[in-house]
Amino acid sequence: MQTTLYKDLRKRTRYYQSLMDVDYLLKGNTYSKLKENIVIFICLGDLFKQGLPVYTFENTCRENNSVKLEDKTLKVFYNCSKWMDIGSKEQAEFLKFLLTDNAESSLCKKLKEREKRI
């Protein structure tokens, strides 16, 4: 989870993606065996300043955006400040909890209880 919107946060996704791929390939697997890789950042604020609750990125062709690279990688940024615009009630409650520390759903209440034990 990102509490500060660092200027290099976008490039950090590339680093995390590479760590997961290298770890998997070190086990002797081939490229064809690489599994789907999703890097998720949960940000308290809006990194991209476009007002969206979620930003999902995948590799597409610049010349024709209908052509996908299909490298099985996604990068997803959640914007907690737009929790009320998330389609899923569960996701909205979770993002609101992260932003406000107010646990309303059963999941968030469980997380709050676990937090007390740490």
The tens digit of pLDDT for each residue in 64-84 reads 999 999 999 999 999 999 999
| 71 and 100 housed in the same domain | no
| 104 and 76 housed in the same domain | no
| 35 and 75 housed in the same domain | yes
Measured CA to CA, the distance from residue 50 to residue 48 in angstroms comes to: 6
Please give the average per-residue pLDDT across 80-103, as a whole number. Answer: 94
| 76 and 94 housed in the same domain | no
pLDDT band at 118 (very low <50, low <70, confident <90, very high): confident
| 106 and 72 housed in the same domain | no
CB neighbours of 66 closer than 8 A, spacing ≥ 6?
60
Residue whose tokens read 């052509």? 67
Phi and psi at 98, nearest 5°, equal: -65, -35
Please give the average per-residue pLDDT across 96-116, as a whole number. Answer: 92
* pLDDT value of residue 2: 64
CB neighbours of 67 closer than 8 A, spacing ≥ 6?
60, 61
Full residue range of the structural domain in which residue 96 is found? 88-118
